[in-house]
Amino acid sequence: MVARADFEHDDGADGAAVRFTGRLTLARLGDVPARLDELGPIATIDLSAIERIDTVGAWIVTRTVNEHGAKVIGASPEAHRLLEALREDKSEYAVHRDRRSPIERMLEQVGTATLAIWHELLGIVGFFGAMIIALGIQIRARRRLRWNAVVTRFQAVGVDALPIIGLMSFLIGIVIAQQGAVQLEQFGLEVFTINLVGRASLRELGLLMTAIMVAGRSGSAFAAQIGTMKLTEEVDAMRTIGVSPMEAIVLPRVAASTITMPLLGFYASICAIIGGGVFCWVGLEIPPLTYVQRLREIIPMHDFYIMLIKAPVFGILIGVTGCYEGMQVRQNAEEVGRRTTSAVVAAIFLVIVLDAFFAVFFSSLGWN
């Protein structure tokens, strides 16, 4: 039977004398590292009785030597060779147990995440400023915006997204109507389901869900495309031949997302209203003509204006965030995936925060 790793220790004036036995290997270590940590100062480590040692076992011995200044005796040629190799390795592979309380570790993680978010926001704001400067230079130099690139992005951001956005909005309209009808039925006010669907779809949910879909679909595509161009040095090649990447890559994508967001938001709102109308017709037996007439009575025009104001802002935010994250790719293909994920998360987070700000702002203006 293969002997498990173990050790004996005798306390001395200068520290404990530890004598290892068995196989000091990864498969046979067991709880030896934890028991070693519980000992006090260690003066000597005797390896004469071990049957075999591997790199992990040698690392345990080296870590103990470094922590306590212990002296190793009785090492076989194999053990001596492994210990020398680890001693000459200058890499920082030491693992130290974090003895802080869970609250301290949690606060550190929160602080680190807060700083990372703050630096990310500063980077996005700086990138947006650089884009505005590039746009000003382009206008001042009377250069034409690359409309061919903009139209190509129209296809990717807008036209190709119509089916999924339409289907999603239609189903959301049905869900809003169904859930609203269930709650209003308790008071005999099912007819007010039309108010809920109409105003929520046009003012908030239609545009918000569209922005989330565009962030996940087009914002990630922007980050992945530009990140790949950074890895293949296409961006550097543009700078070499005198072409500004901000004008050739960033501005067309941001322009496309900015222009298409109001159109997509209105389209999504109409689809959600149609979905709610279908449920009201089938589930509540409200005729379509009555549904449309009620919508005309209860939806104020400022709801439409609010959607038109928010949509371009969301489009700019999604485009700038996706392009910024793509431009941050530096090292390898793995970073493209990380930056793509960051682009989606940051865009959705900022869209929701801005939507909350707009809700409070327009309510303070009396546009309720």
Please state the φ and ψ torsions of residue 287, each to the nearest 5 degrees: -60, 150
Whether 90 shows a pLDDT value over 90: the answer reads no
Spell out a b/e string for 135-172, using b for 16 or more CB atoms within 10 Å of the CB, else e.
Answer: beebeeeeeeebeebbeebbebbbeebeeebbebbbeb
What mean pLDDT, rounded, does the chain reach? 87
> Which of 146, 332, 314 shows the shortest CA–CA distance to 238?
146
Amino acid letter, 164? I
- In single-letter form, the type of residue at position 208 comes to L
Residue 137: which pLDDT band, with cuts at 50, 70 and 90?
confident
**CATH 3.30.750.24 domain residues, the chain:** 6-88
- Strand, helix or coil at 21? strand
346's tokens: 């940051």
Please state the rounded mean pLDDT for residues 159-180: 92
In this predicted model, what pLDDT tens digit does every residue of 23-35 receive, in sequence order?
888 888 888 888 8
Token digits of residue 182: 């269930």
pLDDT per residue over 238-274, tens digit each?
Answer: 888 888 888 889 999 999 999 999 999 999 999 999 9
Structure tokens at 43: 């003066």
Confidence of residue 97 (pLDDT cuts 50, 70, 90): low
pLDDT confidence band for 2 (50 / 70 / 90): low
Q: What pLDDT score was predicted for residue 215?
A: 92
Reported as a single tens digit per residue, the pLDDT across 266-324 is 999 999 999 999 999 998 888 999 999 999 888 888 889 999 999 999 999 999 999 99
Q: Is 166's pLDDT higher than 90?
A: yes
Predicted pLDDT of residue 274:
94
Does the domain at residues 6-88 carry the CATH identifier 3.30.750.24? yes
